[in-house]
Chain A
Amino acid sequence: MQAKENEQGLKRYTIITAMDNEAGVLSQLAHLFSRKGYNIETIAAGWTVDQNVTRFTIEIYSDEERIKLLCSQLRKLVPIHYVEILDPSKSIRRELMLVRVKAEDRASRNEIIQIGNIFRGSVVDITPDSITLSVTGDDQKTQAFEELLKEFGILDLARTGIVAIERGEM
C-alpha cells in the first residue's frame, strides 16, 4: 500500500495522536518533529467525539529505530493522550483534494467531468472558464487525479493532508 520510500530509502509512516484541545499544542507537537530533524509530509487535525481532545494524523519519512524513539519522545509531552503508528494493512487513509481546472470549451469541460466521475469526484463550482472538483481518496488516488488534469491546466489545488483510522477487528 502506501509504504512508499523516499530517495534516502526511508519509509513513510502514519502516526496518530490525540492531545488536549487547547492553545499551543500544535506548536508543541510540530516543534518536536522539527527539533528531531523531521519534515512533516502531511498533518491533519480536528476534534474527536470529545471536543476537548484534538486528534492529529501525521505522516513522515523515517526508519524503524528512529520512529520508535520519536514516539516515546512524543509520549512525554504533557498534553498528549496517546501516540500510535498505524499499520498500513490495517488502516484506512484518506485525504480531500480541491482542484480548479481551466475549462474554456465544451470538449474539455465534458472530459474533465468524466474524469471526475471515474474518480468519484464531484463538481463543486463551475464558471465559463473553469471547473472546480472535489475528490477523496488516499494520496495515490489524488495524485493520479492530479496527473490526469494537468493537461487541461490546473489553476489552483488544495489538499487537506491525510487523515487515517484503524480498521475494525474482523
Chain B
Amino acid sequence: MDKSTRKLNGSEILIQCLLEQGVDTVFGYPGGAILNVYDKLYEHPEIRHILTAHEQGASHAADGYARSTGRVGVCFATSGPGSTNLATGVATAYMDSSPVVFITCNVNSDLIGRDSFQEVDITGVTLPITKCTYIVSNVKNLADTVREAFTVARSGRPGPVLIDIQKNATADEYDYTPTTPEEFSANGSARIARLKSTHHPAIGYPEIDIKAVETLAEMIERCEKPLLICGGGVVRSGASEEFRTLARRMDSPVAITVMGGGAFGGYDPLKTGMIGMHGSQASNMACDACDLLIAVGCRFSDRVTLNPAGFAKNAKIVHIDIDPSEIDKNIKTDLHIIGDAKEVLTLLLSKMKADKKNDGWKNYVFSFRRETEYDDPENGTLTPKQILSAAAEILPQDTMVTTDVGQHQMWAIQHFRFDYPGQLTTSGGFGTMGFGLGAAIGVQAGNPDKTVVLPYADNNASVQQFDIGNGQTVAALDLRRSLLTDYA
C-alpha cells in the first residue's frame, strides 16, 4: 500500500477510509448535502452503491448485509428528512446489536443552528439508539472519526454508529495518510488507546473471570436437568461451533431465542424450539423444570421471560454475555460471566471434565411438542406450517431467510429449520414492520450466490412497499428473492 500523504478533499478521504475498512457495498439515497460524496463515488467503481427507494429501505439493507456477512454495513443519507428517515433502521440495528455505520451529511458549518433548509440535529435524534454518534465539522477530523466509528461499530457488543459530516468537510482539502484497521487499532487515536487500556465496554473484550468459568464447570457437573438458551450473541460472536459442542457434551436440550435462530442446528435432536411467548411447549416446560439454565448471548427480553418472577424458578440461572449492563437487568442470575461467547465457551469446554448423559431428562422434555400443531384446515386451506414446510422443501437447503414482523415472522422461525448463523435475518428486538424487504436486498447483496426468501404478510407490503416497484434495485442485484405473501 502506498503510505504517502496526499492532499484530498473530504469526500475522497471518506471514500479512501471506507476502502481501508474493506467496504465494497454501500446502501443509500442521495440528496443535496451529500452530493459531493456521491460525485466521488462515480470515480470508484470498486464500491457498489445500491440505491433504494427510501432511506429506511437502505438502512435495513445495510443492517441485513451486516447481519448476514458479519461485516460492517454502510448506509448513506442526506441531511434533514434523509437522515430522519434512517431513524427506524438505526433503532432496529441497535436493538439487535448489528454493526452498521450510518453516514449522513448536514448543511455547511456556517448554516448549522440557523434552522437552515434540510437541517436537523440527527446526532441528537439518534443518541439513544446508537453506540456512539460523531459530528464532523472540519475535514481534518474526518479520517480518524470514520476509522474510530468502524472500530466502535464492530467491537465489543456490535451496534450502529452514526457520523454526521457537515457539507464543507466533504469539499475542503486535507492531508490523507493511508492506514489499515489493524494499524489504527494498534496506534490510532488517543481515544481508541484509552478505550483499549481501560477495557471499555464499547470496544473491549474484558478479561474472563476464570473462577466463574470453573464454578460453572462444577455446576454443569452437578446438574441433572440442564437447559441451554442460544441467543443472538452466539451468532454475533461466531460461537456456533463451540455452542454445539457444549450442548453435545452436556447432553442438554437447547432452546433458541428469535435472534439465536441459525446458531444451533435446526435439525439437531437436542433442539427444543423457540422459548417464551411464541415458544414451543418443550422449551417452556423444560425452562420450568430445569435445575440449571445457561443463557448465552441473550438479554432475557420480556418475550422470552414473560413473568420474570416465575422464570426458570427451579433453576440456577447462569448468564454469559459480553455486555456488563445486561447482567441482572431483567432476570436475577446466580452466576454470570462477562465476555465474548466464543472465548468463554472455549474456556468452559477446556474446564469441563466428563461428558454427561441425561436420557431421563431429555425423555421428559421431548415428550412435549417442539412445534406448534394446527387443527385440520377447513375448506381446503393450508396451514402456515404446510406452506412454509413446502417452501423449505422446494428451496435449496442453505436458502437465506429474512422476515418482516408479525405472525408470519414467528411461523417462519418455527417452521424453517435454520442451520447456520446468518441464515435468518429478522427484526427481533425492535419488531420493525417493513424490515424484511430492505433486509432481503442487503442479504442478497452480501451473499450473491445464495437464494434469499422473504415470507411476507399483507400489511408489511404497504409499510415498505417502495422497493417492490423499484426496478433499479431489483435489476442491480439480480435478485432471486421470492416473496411468500400471506393474505390471511
Determine if A78 is an interface residue (Cβ-Cβ < 8 Å).
Answer: yes
A78→B131 contact, CB < 8 A: yes
Q: What is the distance, in angstroms, from A65's C-beta to the closest C-beta of chain B?
A: 7
Determine if B328 is an interface residue (Cβ-Cβ < 8 Å).
Answer: yes
CB under 8 Å from chain B, chain A span 114-145: none
Determine if A90 is an interface residue (Cβ-Cβ < 8 Å).
Answer: no
Instruction: Please classify the interface of chain B as helix (H, G, I), strand (E, B), loop, or mixed, using the class held by over half of its residues.
Output: mixed
A23→B135 contact, CB < 8 A: yes
Q: What is the distance, in angstroms, from B38's C-beta to the closest C-beta of chain A?
A: 27
With the chains together, A20 CA to B195 CA distance in Å?
12
**Interface size bucket, A side?**
20 to 34
With the chains together, A69 CA to B55 CA distance in Å?
34
The residues of A that contact B6 with a CB separation of less than 8 Å are none
A69→B132 contact, CB < 8 A: no
Q: What is the distance, in angstroms, from B203's C-beta to the closest C-beta of chain A?
A: 8
Q: Mark B114-137, 1 if CB is under 8 A from A, else 0.
A: 000000000110011001110100
Count the A-B residue pairs with Cβ separation under 8 angstroms: how many? 44
Given A76-B202, A78-B200, check contact A27 B325 (CB 8 Å).
no
The residues of A that contact B323 with a CB separation of less than 8 Å are 76
The residues of B that contact A2 with a CB separation of less than 8 Å are none
With the chains together, A72 CA to B325 CA distance in Å?
5
Given A69-B329, A73-B325, A78-B152, check contact A20 B191 (CB 8 Å).
yes
The residues of B that contact A23 with a CB separation of less than 8 Å are 135
The residues of A that contact B327 with a CB separation of less than 8 Å are 72
A24→B128 contact, CB < 8 A: no
> Contacting A81 at CB < 8 Å: which of B131, B132, B198, B329?
B198
A76→B325 contact, CB < 8 A: yes
A24→B123 contact, CB < 8 A: yes
CB under 8 Å from chain A, chain B span 327-363: 327-329
With the chains together, A81 CA to B193 CA distance in Å?
12
The residues of B that contact A81 with a CB separation of less than 8 Å are 194, 198
A35→B128 contact, CB < 8 A: yes
Q: B202's closest neighbor in chain A, by CB? A: A78
The residues of B that contact A78 with a CB separation of less than 8 Å are 131-132, 152, 191, 195, 200, 202
The residues of A that contact B135 with a CB separation of less than 8 Å are 23-24
Determine if A109 is an interface residue (Cβ-Cβ < 8 Å).
Answer: no
> Contacting A72 at CB < 8 Å: which of B127, B198, B324?
B324
Most chain B beta-carbon contacts within 10 A, residue among A35, A69, A72, A81: A72
With the chains together, A78 CA to B200 CA distance in Å?
8
Q: A76's closest neighbor in chain B, by CB? A: B201
B198→A27 contact, CB < 8 A: no
Q: B326's closest neighbor in chain A, by CB? A: A72
The residues of B that contact A24 with a CB separation of less than 8 Å are 123, 133, 135
The residues of A that contact B325 with a CB separation of less than 8 Å are 69, 72-73, 75-76
CB under 8 Å from chain A, chain B span 182-199: 191, 194-195, 198
Determine if A31 is an interface residue (Cβ-Cβ < 8 Å).
Answer: yes
Q: B124's closest neighbor in chain A, by CB? A: A27
Determine if A28 is an interface residue (Cβ-Cβ < 8 Å).
Answer: yes
Q: A82's closest neighbor in chain B, by CB? A: B198
16 contacts between A and B (CB under 8 A): A20-B191, A27-B127, A65-B328, A69-B328, A69-B329, A72-B327, A73-B325, A75-B200, A75-B325, A76-B131, A76-B201, A76-B323, A78-B202, A81-B194, A81-B198, A82-B198
List 12 additional contacts besides A20-B191, A24-B135, A75-B324; criterion CB under 8 Å: A24-B133, A28-B127, A35-B128, A65-B328, A72-B325, A72-B327, A76-B201, A76-B323, A77-B202, A78-B132, A78-B152, A78-B191
A residues with a Cβ closer than 8 A to B are: 20, 23-24, 27-28, 31-32, 35, 65, 68-69, 72-73, 75-78, 80-82
